[in-house]
Chains A and B, each alone.
Chain A
Amino acid sequence: MIERIKKMGRASKSDLITYALVAAAFIIVQLLLMNGVITSSLRGQLVPICVYIVMAMSLNLVVGISGELSLGHAGFMSIGAFAGVVAASALTGFIGAPIPRLLASMLIGGILAGAAGFLIGIPVMRLQGDYLAIVTLAFGEIIKNILNNLYVGIDGAGIHISFTSVGALAMDGGKVIINGPQGAVDIEKLSTFAIGFALVVFALAVILNLVRSRSGRAIMAVRDNRIAAESVGINTTKYRMMAFVVSAFLAGMAGALYAMNYSSIVPKKFDFNTSILVLVFVVLGGMGNIRGSIISATVLTILPEALRPIADYRMLLYAIVLIAVMLVSNSTHLRMLIDSLKARLRRDPDDDGPAGEAPEGGENVG
């Protein structure tokens, strides 16, 4: 076993560490839960933490790996959330057990969000840079605007949908699931931390396998130099679209899980601020660094709970984080300083190891 780990490439080793980290975190949390150490407010945060980890990882796939700034990620989350809630209600008669029903609803939410991602991607993938960012923002707002005027109800005859009012649903008894600006009401709380953890592992596996595959290398090639990638025969639109749709799919699953953690949820929850929040996780964790996204999403979701007294300054702090990370990572002075520090740190432990290994371990800067 150890021999095999030693033989692994650097990328696989790094992935193994990420999986181990997630598994260890799950075991620790489970142990703490069993001993009753975790406060009830933190216990309520467990599912949102998993959701935000998946959101951050999936956005990182677009922003970090594919190199496009998407500002409408919360839109896909909301599609997943509302589709998931409707699916969970509609499936009540077919799947009785809560866990399979939750999984089926999450899958439906993810598929619908992925389909929306594909439809939105058709026009979006024709654009680049700032224009792409502003169009994803526009789509996020349009999704919010539509969901704000969406009424869905269910009765014996099936699902009723309207864009005007509850009265227009023309229902025969039954129950209203989505009530316009008031959002989804009377949601069955199906979400559990274990399913949240399973979703994190699933998303991690999907993203890491994609990134390490031939397609993943193509996506990164398009990010690094679009024209060069195109000239070696890479279908740039196809690979950018692949990253975008997978990201939307995972965000939809996360959205469904998120919605079913609460008894009601409003469309306004998934506004531009939520998209920015997830972007902060990605930027702070490091663009393109999946493990970084997991850590920063966890820390930044727990931290506001721990730092209640300065809650008013939380958003301000996020803004400063965004600016500071960009300024620091683009400052040549600081970068040289960090590089020299890294080099010094690396040299010391390697002194007692075999002489030839030092250069192979480093050189991951850039």
Chain B
Amino acid sequence: MGFLSNVVNGISLGSVYAIIALGYTMVYGIAKMLNFAHGDVIMVGGYLSFISMVYLGLHPVFAVLIAICGCTVLGILIERLAYKPLREASSLDVLITAIGVSYLLQNLALLIWKSDPKVYPSVIQAEPLRFFEGQLIISPVSLVTVLVNILIMVGLTLFTTRTRMGKAMRACSEDKGAAQLMGIDVDKTISLTFAIGSGLAAIAGVLLCSAYPTLMPTTGSMPGIKAFTAAVVGGIGSIPGALLGGLLLGVAEIFAKAYISTQFSDAIVFAVLIIVLLVRPSGLLGKPVNVKV
């Protein structure tokens, strides 16, 4: 594996993190909560597409669509049942509830799909591309991941800046009370945010499992935490920040694995999180927030 291959793998992994980080960053921007269960929605997306492809024998395109629909519904349900009653609660209580939801999803998956890892068939079946006499190998999954990531970023940026619903989302993240006075349905906007975030999580789940083909009930939790790290690194609430943070973290992780230590790669990624939070808690592209008394 040459240096260039590592860069490509890093960008590909980083793209997955970026897509997951979008879900965190949008929800955090609007609901001001860390949706701990987001990582487990990825896992549900992985299982839904796996079942559609392997047990039902559907075409990968339909499998992906089923996963997106399933996760969107799941995201809206979670928000309605667990988070909405806690709009006025302390952030500690909301976070504990989110951890509870994450745990619930993991253990439901454990009961339904059992703990043995499933081998995930990649949604893209093609030969890897080779350049420079095998110095640079690009797998089709990496290529698709990066393309999908670019599409999502462009689409989401257009959505939040050009459409009425997107503008409503931005207004809610700025000031919920004022947004409500301007006639924006805040509850609906929050539901929409969860729906989009969870739909993206499903896509991320499919891409993640295609690149790393073991599917378990805990598949989503580690990438979820790392993607949250990416969201924080980039600046929480910022869409370009999620992209930047995701790519940085993906490349850092692959490089740490390749050049420093395989065993300590997770520790290195978490060390990055800790350093960023200490040095620049508002992230690279985030706005610093002052507490008013």
A interface with B by C-beta (< 8 Å): 63, 67, 69, 71, 123, 126-127, 129-131, 133-135, 137-139, 141-142, 145-146, 148-149, 227, 272, 276, 279, 283, 287, 312-313, 315-316, 318-323, 326-327, 329-331
- Which residues of B are found within 8 Å of A69, using beta-carbon distances? 92, 95-96
Query: Judging by beta carbons under 8 Å apart, are B93 and A316 in contact?
Result: no
Query: Judging by beta carbons under 8 Å apart, are B267 and A141 in contact?
Result: yes
- With contact pairs A227-B293, A322-B103, A323-B104 given, residues A316 and B266 touching in the complex (Cβ less than 8 Å): no
Query: Judging by beta carbons under 8 Å apart, are A142 and B104 in contact?
Result: no
- Scan residues 253-293 of chain B and give those whose CB is less than 8 A from a CB of chain A: 263-264, 266-267, 270-271, 273-274, 277-278, 281, 291, 293
**Which residue from chain A places its CB closest to the CB of B278 in the assembled complex?**
A123
- Scan residues 67-99 of chain B and give those whose CB is less than 8 A from a CB of chain A: 82, 85-86, 88-89, 91-97, 99
With beta carbons under 8 angstroms apart, the residue of A71, A149, A279 that contacts B263 is A149
* Contacts beyond the supplied A123-B274, A329-B93: 16 A-B pairs with Cβ under 8 Å: A67-B92, A69-B96, A127-B278, A127-B281, A134-B225, A135-B273, A137-B225, A146-B264, A146-B267, A315-B103, A319-B101, A322-B96, A322-B103, A323-B97, A330-B86, A330-B93
- With contact pairs A67-B92, A276-B99, A323-B100 given, residues A145 and B107 touching in the complex (Cβ less than 8 Å): no
The A-B contact count (CB < 8 A) is 116
Query: Judging by beta carbons under 8 Å apart, are B267 and A142 in contact?
Result: yes
**Which residue from chain A places its CB closest to the CB of B94 in the assembled complex?**
A326
10 A-B Cβ contacts within 8 A? Answer: A123-B277, A123-B278, A129-B95, A130-B91, A134-B228, A134-B273, A316-B107, A318-B103, A322-B96, A326-B89
Query: Judging by beta carbons under 8 Å apart, are A312 and B277 in contact?
Result: no
**Which residue from chain B places its CB closest to the CB of A143 in the assembled complex?**
B267
- Which residues of B are found within 8 Å of A227, using beta-carbon distances? 291, 293
Q: Do most interface residues of chain B lie in helix, strand or loop, or is the interface mixed?
A: helix
Query: Judging by beta carbons under 8 Å apart, are A131 and B277 in contact?
Result: yes
With beta carbons under 8 angstroms apart, the residue of A312, A319, A327, A329 that contacts B103 is A319
Q: Do most interface residues of chain A lie in helix, strand or loop, or is the interface mixed?
A: helix
A315→B225 CA distance, assembly (Å): 21
- Which residues of B are found within 8 Å of A276, using beta-carbon distances? 99, 103
Name the residue in A141, A318, A319 with the highest tally of chain B Cβ atoms < 10 Å from its Cβ. Answer: A319
- Which residues of B are found within 8 Å of A323, using beta-carbon distances? 82, 97, 100-101, 104
- Is B154 among interface residues, defined by CB-CB distance under 8 A? no
A127→B91 CA distance, assembly (Å): 14
Task: Give, as a whole number of angstroms, the nearest-CB distance from A163 to chain B.
Answer: 8
Task: Give, as a whole number of angstroms, the nearest-CB distance from A214 to chain B.
Answer: 25
Task: Give, as a whole number of angstroms, the nearest-CB distance from A339 to chain B.
Answer: 18
A188→B293 CA distance, assembly (Å): 56
**Which residue from chain A places its CB closest to the CB of B93 in the assembled complex?**
A326
- Is B21 among interface residues, defined by CB-CB distance under 8 A? no
**Which residue from chain A places its CB closest to the CB of B87 in the assembled complex?**
A330
Give 9 nearest A-B pairs by CB, closest first. Answer: A322-B100, A138-B270, A319-B104, A319-B103, A323-B100, A130-B34, A145-B267, A330-B89, A316-B107
A241→B88 CA distance, assembly (Å): 28
With beta carbons under 8 angstroms apart, the residue of A138, A145, A146, A319 that contacts B100 is A319
Query: Judging by beta carbons under 8 Å apart, are B111 and A129 in contact?
Result: no
With beta carbons under 8 angstroms apart, the residue of B89, B264, B274, B293 that contacts A139 is B274
A257→B29 CA distance, assembly (Å): 44
Query: Judging by beta carbons under 8 Å apart, are B278 and A133 in contact?
Result: no
A362→B184 CA distance, assembly (Å): 44
Query: Judging by beta carbons under 8 Å apart, are A320 and B111 in contact?
Result: no
- Scan residues 160-178 of chain B and give those whose CB is less than 8 A from a CB of chain A: none
Name the residue in B92, B93, B103, B229 with the highest tally of chain A Cβ atoms < 10 Å from its Cβ. Answer: B103
- With contact pairs A129-B91, A315-B103, A320-B104 given, residues A135 and B97 touching in the complex (Cβ less than 8 Å): no
Task: Give, as a whole number of angstroms, the nearest-CB distance from B265 to chain A.
Answer: 9
- With contact pairs A134-B225, A276-B103, A322-B100 given, residues A327 and B111 touching in the complex (Cβ less than 8 Å): no
